[in-house]
Structure 1
Amino acid sequence: MNDFSSHIAIIGAGIAGLTLGNSLKSQGLKTIIFEKSSDVSEYSAGISISNNGLIPLDQLGLIEEVKKNSFSPENVIFKQNNKSFFKISAPVFSMSRQKLVQILYKKYKELGGKILFDHQLRNINASEGQISFTNSQSYRVRHIAACDGIKSIIREQYFTRSGDPQYSGYSAWRGIGKSNSKNVEFHLGKNSHIVSYPINDDGDTSFVGIIKTETFEEESWKKEGSFEELVREFSSYDESIFSILNTSSKPYKWGIYVRPPLKALITKKVTLLGDAAHPMVPFLGQGGCMAIEDAYAFGLLCGHKGDDFPSIQKLYQKLRIGRTNKIQKMSYRQGKFNHLNNPLLVSIRNTVIKNTNIIANRLKYMHHYDTHIETLSVIEN
């Protein structure tokens, strides 16, 4: 058995795992990331990062690189039948997920972080801090951070009452094309919506279409669909909306899956982060930001509390579980809000959006959270 008993092991080199690696290394801690793939990669998709995600990236010295490789949209525009009915300033930076992962990975390596590829997890011993992989390698580590996504093997092994991933009732299409748009655009329709936003200064634009359907789709980011099938499923929309994708390769289609909120994110020598802890539907654009918050908070706690992992875990759970569970629920309710069918309810919804502070209040709760300040607060108290 390989002895890494002085290292915190991170399972998964996605946004959560690489942010955690940077957070721990910035605190002078030894880390090792285990990644099942042969390289760090993310499939072509966009991501929006709001202020609550930018604050930890700033603390980690990554903000300038993120801003250099992203786009700052001017407004968020809501449309019905291709006509604008509400506009609000856009409090986000939007970019390619792949580019964000590359930035995180580069910084992690610069900090001396260690990563082992082609390590598909088989199982762990949470009491002893032992990890075994399908390549017959095994390791003894100081602590195990599960950043292995919605299909987390660790969650399935040690949080058995949390249930299997369940189809949410929503399927999604995505693609990257070209446009001249400077805004985030939400097109609301019958049991569906479409969102698009620029992800860099070169005109690359992310397109995501969500449709409510009982037809199960597999949870895969790499299943190709066809442009013709996409247009059929969104036939009630003006075809001009799809012009973004005229310059793209084939669009991708996947089912959106969820797991119920957990009552605990910790057990023995294991801590859950990101989608392993709280996978959520993407209707508030907070999945990536919650992973960044989790990872930064856990790293900061480890830096301040040393070897006292029971204390670290207790504080981490106190800090994170209420917020992430609430945003998980808010995201699901937003899906219902977006996908109304009854014309009267649609009219009421659009009137509420136009004439109340409902959007601004939701954004304030999500975006004004400062993980650095909140984490230091629980440490000091």
Structure 2
Amino acid sequence: MPFSFRLPWRRAGAAAVPETKATGFVALAAESRAHWSSRSYAALAREGFMRNPVAHRAVRLIAEAAASVPWLAYAGEEERPDDPLLSLVARPNGRMSGTDFLETLYGHLLLSGNAFVEGVRIGGALRELHPLRPDRVRIVEGRDGWPEAYEYRAGAHVRRLPAEGQGVLHLRLFHPLDDRLGFAPLEAAGMALDLSNAAAVWNKALLDNSARPSGALVYQPKEGGNLSPDQYDRLKAELEEGYAGAARAGRPMLLEGGLDWKAMGLSPREMDFVEAKNGAARDIALAFGVPPMLIGIPGDATYANYQEANRAFWRLTVLPLVFRTAAAFSAWLSDGAGEAVRLAPDLDEVSGLAAERSEVWARVGAADFLSDEEKRRAVGY
């Protein structure tokens, strides 16, 4: 990164005091304390999803995969393909399709650890579902410490939504230190996220200032003497105009009059920024539960091939998220339906599990000791 450097100046009116610049050594240094970004929803969304390609791809990969899984409705053991709750989830409101709604919901859950859905009732029946941005929602606690209402603020407008009934559905991920709010996966990888972003900024700075690495200009004239203020200003201007910027990368530096350039600090190769950046990317993918192989991160050999990594991604990350979301919607939507309706993902339509489903069908089909009715139940019908 660029640094400005100063030589000792002689104050006006102090000509009788001799200057002491024996070697003319000018050190360029910076404070080495690390700085970590904020952990709020806005900061995680901006620094992670909007600026970091690994976090962006991990969130999109999970949200899009989970939103692509269709849902089924059951009343007891009976499947109900025409249940109105399925129609509501497929078309939650006039602005969004079911896939857009679920993708937004899963994105909020991954970036914030919380997702809020407002239910709109028309004529006593639940007609619309609207996702609420987590950073605009404030939980209002009652005297017993449990939520009694939710306040949603959009600009200067504040709406108060009841916590009971079908006013607001609150989905949250497990938080060990909070009874009301969830914990975002990206927050656990906050240091890795900052390291990955800092490596990208460093590489960009190397492109912009590759011909002017941090170091020291040493002035050691043979006859003795010091740089005058005019000489110092001219030298600084020449460095800025002649050697800074990507267009001047690789230009040799011409030094005269006893000037010598001494590079300081570790080079990018010595600090191994490439491996550090890949390690940070693996930590970010690990926090989300995405195999690094699926994002194209080199150096990961956890899974034998892409197909095995994709199957683990669906089984260990996507399906648990879909199941818990479907269970939460089942309890919330059934509250005013008059009967218990269970929503569950249709695993037969999951493309990532097609190989597993084929194995199950072949194994059940070869079981001669099972009747056709038992085989149907074994495969989920």
- TM exceeding 0.5: no
TM-score, normalization by structure 1:
0.28
TM-score, normalization by structure 2:
0.28
State which structure, 1 or 2, has the greater radius of gyration over its C-alpha atoms.
2
